[in-house]
Amino acid sequence: MRAFALLAAPSVILIAGCASAGASTNGGAAAVTPANAIQFLAADTHLSSSKWHGLGKVLLAELPADVRGLADGREIDVAVLPSHKTVAFVKGDVKAKHTRAFGDWTAIADDEDALQDVAKAKKHLADLPVYAEAMDALPRDALVRVYGSSDRALDLFASIPGQLESRLLPFGAHYRFSHKAVMRTAVNVGVLESRWLAASLTPHGDGLMLEALAPHGELVANGPPRLAIQPIEPYTAGLADEIPAGVLGVVDFQLPNGAFELMSTVPAPLRALFGSDTSLPNELDAVLGGETALVVRRGSPSPEITLITQPADTDQAMQTLDSLVRSSPLLSKVKLFRAVIGGQLVVSTAQAGIDAFRGGGAKLTADPAFLDAKKQSGMPDRTTAFTYATAAAVPILQAAGVPIPKDLPALQTYVAYGAEVQERSTLTALLDVG
C-alpha cells in the first residue's frame, strides 16, 4: 500500500496522473469514499491505449511492481482521508492483506483502521455539490481526474515540481501565498480560501494536456487562520520580443518587489548554488526583479544559458551579483558575461548570449515552433508565467542530472503556462510527442 501512497502523492498525480476516463461526473468510487476525503483521484489504466501516445507504457514501467499488477486496464481510484491514510479502490478480487468490499468496489489499505474509516462514513464524496462542481470543470474525455478539498488545494498546487515554495510560483505560477496577510485578514474580517482544486490529464492532438484549476479564494467569516490563494495579475511577456528565436528552452515569469525576502525559505536549487547565508534573500531581491527570463540556446562546447531580469537598481544589482558569484562554489569557476541593456540586466555564459539579446534578427514571438506550441496549447497573450522547451533540451536535462524515463517516445515540444480564466486560476501544460 505504500505504493498507493506514492500514486496519491500530488507531484505524481499532477504529472503522471490517475483519474477516471469516461466515468460519470460523480461516478466511480466517489460513491463509497467518505465525504471528508481531502484528496481523490481515479484512473482508467489502459496505459497501452493510443490515447496515451506511448507515454502510458513509460508510466507503467515506472510504477512499483504491486501497483503495476493492478494497472491492467481496470479503473483504480485512490482516496486520501483526513488521517492522511490512503485507500485504493478497484473492481474485482485483489490479493492483499487488508481489503474490504464496498458494493462493487474492493478497498485496499495499509491497515484495518483506514478501511474502518470508509465503513463508518455516513456521507460520501459523490454527494457533495462542491465535488460535482469541481468534476464538472474538467474535460469529459480526461484520462486523469483529480480532486482536492479546500484543505488540500494549496498543498496540491505547491507540490507541482518546478514551483517556488512560497508566495510566487513561476512555472505556470498563479498563486501568491501569504501567511501574514491571511492572519491579518482572519483578525479583521475572515479568511480567504478556495473551495476546491481539480486537475485532469487529457489526450490532445499528438500529446497529453495537463489542466489544473481552482476558483479564486472566497471570504470565510470567522474561519480559522489558513493560507489563502490570491490570483496573480496576468502580464504580457515583453521579453518574448527580445529573446532570440531558436531557443532550446525558456522560462518567463514576474518577480514582485521583495519576492525572496517574503519566502519562508529560498528554493533549494538557489541555496545549493549560492549557499544558505541569511543575507541571501535580500541579495537575490537586489539582483532579480520584474519580468525575468532564463533562456537556453545551443552553444559550443556546452549550451549557452542567459538570464534577463529587471532589478530596481542595475548598478547595485551588478555589485551584488559580483558578491554572489565570488561566494558560489560553482559560479566562481565559470566565466560570466554581463551587460545592462535598456535598464535590463543580462547575464550569460557566452558573449553570444549578450549579442543575441542586444542585436536584431528573428525573435521568440516569430519562432514557428514556439508559435505552434502556443497555438496547440491555447496559451493566451497574457499569462501569469510560461515555460517552453523543445526536444533538443532533453539531452541537456539528462546531462544536468534530471532523471528522464527510458523509452520515451519522440518528444517535440513542451509548453506550460498559468492564466486567469473566469475567476479561476489555471495551470495548463502540453507535452507534444509528435
- Chunk the chain into consecutive blocks of 10 residues (it has 434) and report each block's average pLDDT, rounded to whole numbers: 33 32 57 93 73 72 61 77 89 84 90 94 93 91 83 49 32 33 31 71 87 71 45 86 95 88 80 85 94 93 93 95 91 92 95 91 94 94 92 78 71 88 86 82
Judge whether 114 and 88 are in contact, CB under 8 Å: no
Residue with cell 541555496: 271
**DSSP 8-class letter at 332:** G
Which residues, listed in sequence order, are joined to residue 34 by a DSSP beta bridge?
A: 124
The bridge status of strand 382-383 relative to strand 249-255 is: unpaired
Chain centroid, CA 144 distance in Å: 15
* Separation of alpha carbons 30 and 34, rounded Å: 8
CB atoms under 10 Å from CB of 183, counted, come to: 14
CA 73 to chain CA centroid, Å, is: 27
SS3 content of the chain, % helix, strand, coil (to 5): 30, 30, 40
Pairing mode, if any, of strands 191-193 and 249-255?
Answer: unpaired
The predicted structure's pLDDT at residue 411: 77
- The pLDDT, as a whole number, for residue 59 is 67
Would you say 292 and 279 are in contact if contact means Cβ atoms under 8 Å apart?
no
Give strand pairing partners of 361: none
Q: What is the pTM of this model?
A: 0.79
User: What is the rounded distance in angstroms from the CA atom of residue 161 to the CA atom of residue 157?
Assistant: 9
Query: Coil, strand or helix: which one is 179?
Result: helix
Cα(347)–Cα(28) distance, integer angstroms: 52
The Cα–Cα gap between 232 and 415 comes to 20
Please state, in angstroms and rounded to a whole number, the distance separating the CA atoms of residues 57 and 52: 8
- The helix (H) or strand (E) run that includes residue 86 is strand 86-91
* Pairwise CA distance, residues 211 & 139, whole Å: 9
